[in-house]
């Protein structure tokens, strides 16, 4: 019997430490789609993890917190559709707040492109 999918966003799904963020940034794999810039690298786990970076230029604290909630929610619903084993950092650029479906679409497209990039890198590097 299949294991029931859980759409949670617990501590195991988060990037929290500066060293985790730095390791994703240093991989130098990023895709920009609209107001989101998604950085990613394989993490060797069986699930993706998410980190968020929303600067003050994006808006007031209320706006920044709303954006973070929406992006976390988009990740939570889409995490089982992503290729497993990626650390992702979403950097938000200033923009008018979109709806949840728009963030889901942008996030899905960016993660697919990051996966293609890492697949290309793996096949181009001789073992």
Q: Residue 29: inside a domain, yes or no?
A: yes
- Is residue 124 situated within a structural domain? no
Q: Looking at the 3D structure of the chain, how many domains does it have?
A: 1
Residue 79 lies in a domain: yes
| Domain harbouring 37, CATH code | 3.30.230.10
Gap between the Cα atoms of 98 and 90, Å rounded: 15
Region 56-69: mean pLDDT is 96
Name the residue among 114, 121, 108 with its Cα closest to residue 30.
114
Banded model confidence at residue 72, pLDDT cuts 50, 70, 90:
very high
pLDDT for 117 beyond 60: yes
Does 109 map to a domain? yes
pTM of the shown model: 0.87
Q: Residue 81's closest CA among 108, 100, 106, 99?
A: 108
75: β partners: none
Whether 100 is covered by a domain: the verdict is: yes
Print the domain residue range for 109: 13-119
């Amino acid at each position: 019997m299949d294991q029931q999918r859980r759409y949670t966003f617990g501590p195991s799904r988060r990037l929290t430490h500066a060293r985790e963020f730095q390791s994703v940034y240093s991989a130098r794999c990023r895709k920009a789609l609209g107001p989101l810039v998604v950085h990613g690298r394989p993490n060797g786990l069986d699930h993706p993890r998410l980190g968020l970076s929303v600067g003050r230029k994006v808006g007031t604290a209320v706006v920044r917190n709303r954006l973070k909630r929406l992006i976390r929610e988009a990740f939570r619903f889409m995490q089982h559709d992503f290729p497993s084993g990626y650390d992702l950092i979403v950097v938000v650029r200033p923009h008018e707040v979109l709806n949840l479906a728009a963030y889901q679409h942008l996030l899905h497209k960016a993660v697919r492109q990051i996966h293609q990039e890492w697949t290309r890198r793996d096949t181009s590097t001789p073992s």
